[in-house]
Structure 1
Amino acid sequence: MVALKGQGLQDNKLRNDERLLNVPRIPRGPGSPIVDLGYTQYQGTELANGITQWLGMRYAAPPVGNLRFRAPEDPVPNPSLQIADKHGSVCLPTGSTTISNGFAEDCLFVDVYAPTKARQGHNSLLPVYVFIQGGGFNSNSNANYNGSGLITASDLNIVVVTFNYRVGPYGFLASKEVQDNGDLNVGLKDQRKLFKWVQKYIQEFGGNPNSVTIGGDSAGAASVDLHLSAYGGRNDHLFHAAAAESQSFGVQFTIEGSQYQYNALVARAGCNSTEDTLTCLRNLTAAELQSININIPSPGSGGDPPLYMYSNVIDGDFTQDFTYKLYKEGKFIKVPVIFGDDTNGGTIFTPRDTDSVAAMNEFLRDQFPNLSDTQLAQIDYYYPKAEQFPNTGEYWRAVSNAYGQMRYMCPGLYISSAYSKTLTPSWNYRYNVEDPAQVASGLGVPHTVEVNAIWGPENVNGAAPASYSTPLNRNIVPLMQGYWTSFIRTHNPNTYRIPGSPFWQEWIPPLMNRIRFETNTTTMEIVDQDTQIHCGYLESIGIILQQ
C-alpha cells in the first residue's frame, strides 16, 4: 500500500498526542516560575529587577531529518520539567561553512520575559511584544536580545517575546522539488508558528493574546510587512499592531525563478545523479549541508553574488504577489503600524571601494538583476557622486544612498501612505542619532542602529555604539523606549511617551510628515523634495524589480 503524503508526520503527531496524556503535571502556585504548556513544563528564573525570564523553550519540533525543508510541526511532548535558564541554539547562517558553538539546525526556540507580578494573582493580562530579528533571511542577527530593558521602561507593563527562525536554505529553499515534497517559505512559517504559540500559551506568562504587537528590524521588519500582507491580507488575528524598523523590499523570485539556487545546491552536494535530489539533501548531515551553504550570483546580475540570495518567494499562497503590488491593491491587514528607517541605511552594505558609476551599477544589478540600462541611468542621475571619506571609492556614498533608499527608505514611505489611505493609524520616522565614530568612518547613521536605543545598550550583546552609554547620546534611549513601549501598550506611540518628548503625528499623505529622532532635538519633519522624487521613481519600477 502506498502511504499518503504527510501520513508519517500525522502518525508522529498522533503518537505525540498520546504521550501528552501521560505527562505528569507539577502543581504550582501564583508567582511560581513554572509554566505548564501542555506538551511540557518550563521553570523560569525570577530576577532581582522584578522580571522573570524563560529561556530556550521549544515552540516547534526540531526541524531536522524528514522535517528539513518542511513547515514547522508541534513540539514533541516531554514529561520532564525543563529548566529554562539557557538560550537555545541559533539557526545556521548562510556564508559560514562551519558550525560554530551555539548554532545548530535544531534551533526553533523562544524566550519570554515578563514582569514577575504578572503571574502573582494579578487579574489584568499584559500587552505583548513579539520581536522578529533581522539578518537578511540568511542569519539570525539579533539573537538573544534581553527584554528586561523594554519591560522596565514600560513600568513593568508588557511581556516581551524573542525567538529564532530558520534562514538560508533551511528556511527559504525553493524549487519544484521543494514544492512537491516539502514546503515553501518555511522561515516565515516558523514565525507564523511562533505567533500561534503566543496565542495559545502567552497567558501562562501573564501576557494578553488579544493585545500582541509584532515588530522587527531589517529582515525582521520585512517579515512584518510580509505577515501584514500574507495570504493576500487575510487576518487570522494573530497580532493587533506592528512596528517595523528599516523594512526591507528585496527581490522576491517565483518558484521557477529560484530553481537555479536549488540546482546549484544539489550539484554542490553531489546529489544531481540521484533519482530523488530532495531526499539526498535531507540525508546530508547539518555539517555537510552547511559546508556548501554559500551565495551564488543571480541570473542576469552584475556577476557577483547578492548580499542575500535566499529569501521569500512568490508561492501563490503565503506570499501571493510582489510586496509593492499587494500594498498598492490594499491587500494587507489594517492594524496600527509604525514604519521607518535610518538616515544612512545603505552604508553598511555597499563596497567601500566603489570608485565609478560602472562599479556602482554593477553592485545594484547584483542585488536587483532586472535593472535595465535605462533604469540604471536614471538612478545614476538621481544619486550622483556624494560625500567623500578616507580610504573609500569616490562613489561609495552615492551607491550607499541609492541602495539605502531602494531597499529600505522608500518602501517604508510607501507602506505608510498605503495605510493612511485606508484611514488606519500609521506613523513614520527617520532615525538621525549621530555617533561620532560612525560619522567619522562614513557610516553616518547606519542601518538598524536604532535597535540599540529601543532595547537599551546593555541588552543587545555589546552591539551598541559607545555614545549610547555616555552623556552624548544617553538621552535617546528613554525617549525611544517611551514611544515603543507606549505603542506596545496602547497601539499609539504618544500615550505613554516620556514627559517633554514631542507629539508624534500620524503620517498624512501627501504631506509626508514623519518624526526625526535626534538626541535632545527630536522633532517632526516633512520628507525632503529630493527623497520624494527619488522614491516616486523607485516605487514606479519596484514591481519590475520584483520587490
Structure 2
Amino acid sequence: MHDALETAARRPHPRCPPSVALDYCAVVAATEVNDGHIVSESIDCSTSEDCLFLDIWAPANSTGTKLPVLMYTFCGGFTHGSKIQNTPEGLYDLSKDFIFHEGGNANTAVWDVTQALEWVQKYIGAFGGDPDAVTLAGFSAGASQVMFQMTRFSGRAPQLFDRAYIMSPGYVPGAGHHQAEAYWQNVSTAAGCPGGDITCMRSVNFTSLLTTASDVASEYNYQLQPRVDGNIVADTYEAQLYQKRFNFTGPVFPAITDDVIAEILKLYPAHRYPDEGYRLSDIRQSFDLTGKDLALTQALHDETWNSIVNQDDATHGTDQYYYFYSTYSTVPVNGLGSSTSVNVTVARQMQKYPLSFVLSGNPNTLWPNDKIHWPKYGNKTNTLSFNATLSITTDDLANDKSVFWNKALWY
C-alpha cells in the first residue's frame, strides 16, 4: 500500500485543467491541457480502493510564483463521494490567484490525506503554489478529515497546513473497537471467510466485498469510518480537541445507560415536536453536526469564524450549492452548484468569504465593500447567518443539547 501511495503521489499532473470536456472517471495525462469546460451531465464512475489521485487547478503561467493553496477533501461518509461533486471553476470567476488542489478519500483514508498534504508541501511550488499558505477545506466527512489531520498522532505530528475551512463535520457514535469487531465478523462471514480470516478476506473480489459490506446489517450505521487505533487516530478528534492534543495554530456509544436515555428525553421532550421525525432531526442537528463546531471553537479559544445556514428547507449540504456555485453549467453536477438552483447574489457573497480566507487568512480582508463584516465567534457568540440576505446573529452554540453530546465522547 505504501508503494502504491508513493507511486500515486509522484504521478505527474497537469498545471491547468484538462483541454476537452472533462471525463471525471479518467486519469488525465500531464501533457493534456484545456480551457476547463465541464461535462453537461453526471457520469456514472466506477469505484476503486485506488483513490489517491490529486487534481491541481492552477492559473496558466504560474510557474515561479507562490500562490495560496486550497486543498479540498470531499464528502461521502467515508464510503462514497467523488471529485465530481464540487469543482472550483466557479470560484475562479472571483479570483485566479490561488491553486485549488483536490484530493483524499478508512484509517487508510486519513493516511491518504496526510500523504496528499505532504506531497503538497514538497511539490506544490512547481505549480506556483506557496507551501506556507495552504488552506485545508472539507464538507461533512471531508470536514472530519480536516479535524483528523489536526489531531493525528495526538497532535505530535508536523502541521501540514496553515488554515482550515470546516463545513458540517460529521459525528458518528460507535467509532471504537466493540462495534467494529462485530461488524467485521458479520461482513467476513457473509463474504465466505468465517472468523474474520484476513488472508481469505484479501482474496475476495473488491466489488463483492463492497456489496457485502453495504448489505450487512449493523447496530450502527456508518461503520466504514476512521477508527481509534492509538496511532494516527489516537482517540476521537472531539476528545483530543478538548484534551488539547492537536497541532494547529492557524485561524479556524458503546452502550447508552438508562440515565443517559433519561437526559436525552429531557432535552428533547416529545411535546415540542409535531412527530418523531422532527424530534430525530433535532437530535441529529446537535450530535451529528453542530456539536463538533463547539469542540473546535472551544479548543481554539473562540477565535474562529462561525456561520449558520438559515434558508428555508436548508439541510445538510445546502451551503455547498452556494460555495461551489458556477455559471459554467446550468445542469447540476450531482445536484450541487448549478446556476439555476441558488440565489446568485447570496452565492457570490458567500464565495467571497472563503476566497478571502484562502488568499489572506481572514474572510474579511478582500472585497470588504461587497459583503458584511464577519466577526469572530468570541464571547458574544457572533455568527454569520446565510439567508435570503446575510446578517450577523448571536447563536448559542454551547447550548444544553450541544454540551450534552460533547460530554458524551462516545467510541
TM-score greater than 0.5 by the shorter chain? yes
Residue 223 (structure 1) aligns with: 145
Match of 1:524 among 392, 406, 410: 392
* Deviation, structure 1 residue 254: 3.2
Displacement of 1:225? 1.2
Q: Cα distance, 1:396 vs. partner?
A: 0.8
1:278 aligned partner, one-letter code: I
Q: CA deviation at 1:280?
A: 1.5
State the 1:252 CA deviation: 5.1
CA drift of 1:214 comes to 0.3
2:46 aligned with 1:102: yes
* Alignment of structure 1 residues 355-374 onto 2, 5 Å: 368=253, 370-374=255-259
Contact kept? 1:432, 1:518, Cα under 8 Å? yes
Aligned to 1:311: 225
Hey, what does 1:534 align to over in structure 2?
A: 401
Cα distance change, pair 498–387 in 1 and its aligned pair in 2 (3 A)? farther
Checking the alignment, whether the CA contact within 8 Å between 2:17 and 2:56 is kept in structure 1 is no
- Which residue matches 2:202? 282
How does the TM-score come out when normalised to structure 2? 0.85
What SS class does the counterpart of residue 427 from structure 1 fall into? coil
SS of the residue 1:211 aligns to: strand
1:405, CA displacement in angstroms? 0.8
Indicate the SS of the match to 2:55: strand
Choose from 430, 434, 442 the match for 2:308.
430
CA distance in structure 1 between the partners assigned to 2:212 and 2:288 by the alignment: 28
Give 1:127 shift: 0.5
Q: For residue 278 of structure 1, report the CA deviation from its aligned partner.
A: 1.4
Q: Give how far 1:84 is off.
A: 7.1
How far residue 261 of structure 1 moved from its aligned partner, in angstroms, is 1.9
Which residue is 2:262 aligned to? 377
Q: 2:211 aligns with which of 280, 291, 308?
A: 291
- TM-score of the aligned structures, taking structure 1 as reference length: 0.65
Aligned to 2:345: 475
**How many aligned positions are there?**
397
Amino acid at match of 1:398: R
Pairing 1:46-445 to 2, within 5 Å after superposition: 83=32, 101-119=45-63, 123-140=64-81, 143-153=84-94, 155-165=95-105, 171=106, 185-251=107-173, 253-255=175-177, 257-272=179-194, 277-294=197-214, 296-298=216-218, 301=219, 306-338=220-252, 368=253, 370-385=255-270, 386=272, 388=274, 394-420=275-301, 425-434=303-312, 444-445=313-314
What do the CA deviations read for 1:244-303 (whole angstroms, capped 9, x no partner)?
Answer: 100122225334552112212211111227xx82121111222222231226454xx4xx
Residue segments in structure 2 that go unaligned for 5+ positions in a row: 37-43
Distance 1:267 1:84, change over 3 A: farther
Asked if structure 2 preserves the Cα contact closer than 8 Å seen for 1:56 and 1:111, the reply is no
- Which gives a bigger RCO, structure 1 or 2 (Cα 8 Å, sep 6+)? 2
Distance 2:240 2:268 in 1: 28
Contact 2:69 2:101 in 1 (8 A): yes
Does residue 381 of structure 2 align to residue 512 of structure 1? yes
Residue number in structure 1 paired with 2:39? none
Contact 1:327 1:418 (8 Å CA) reproduced: yes
Secondary structure of the residue aligned to 2:97 is: coil
Deviation at 1:372, TM superposition (A): 2.5
Match of 1:438 in 2: none
Change (3 A) 1:43 1:410: closer
Distance 1:140 1:252 in 2: 22
Q: CA deviation at 1:239?
A: 0.7
Alpha-carbon displacement from aligned partner over 1:356-415 (angstroms, at most 9, x marks no partner): xxxxxxxxxxxx452323322322232234564xxxxx2111110111111111220231
- Residue number in structure 2 paired with 1:358: none
- Output the amino acid matched with 2:250: P
| Structure 2 equivalent of residue 360 of structure 1 | none
CA separation of 1:489/1:398 partners in 2, compared to 1, >3 Å: closer, same or farther? same
User: Residue 54 and residue 538 in structure 1: after superposition, are their counterparts in 2 closer, same or farther (change >3 A)?
Assistant: closer
Name the CA distance, whole Å, in 1 between partners of 2:5 and 2:15. 27
The 5 Å alignment of 1:38-53 reads 39=10, 41-43=12-14
Quick one: which amino acid aligns to residue 287 of structure 1?
Answer: T
Deviation at 1:513, TM superposition (A): 2.1
Residues 218 and 245 of structure 1 are in contact (CA less than 8 Å); yes or no, is this contact kept in structure 2? yes
Please, which runs of 5 or more residues in structure 1 have no aligned partner? 1-5, 17-36, 59-79, 88-99, 166-170, 172-184, 339-367, 389-393, 435-443
TM-superposition CA deviations, 1:334-357 (whole Å, max 9, x none): 33344xxxxxxxxxxxxxxxxxxx
> What CA RMSD, in Å, does the superposition of the two structures yield over aligned residues?
3.3
Distance 2:173 2:161 in 1: 26
CA–CA distance in 2 between the matches of 1:535 and 1:115?
42
Residue-by-residue CA offset, 1:439-476 (whole Å, 9 max, x unaligned): xxxxx21012111111115576151487x637x72111
Letter in 2 for 1:108: L
Residue 54 of structure 1, CA deviation: 11
Cα distance change, pair 128–293 in 1 and its aligned pair in 2 (3 A): same
CA spacing shift, 1:54–1:449, aligned 2, 3 Å: closer
Counterpart residue number, 1:488: 358
CA distance in 1, matches of 2:246, 2:304: 13
Provide the C-alpha distance between the structure 1 equivalents of 2:402 and 2:10, rounded to a whole number of angstroms.
Answer: 49
Q: 1:54 to 1:268 in 2, by over 3 A?
A: closer
Output the amino acid matched with 2:235: D
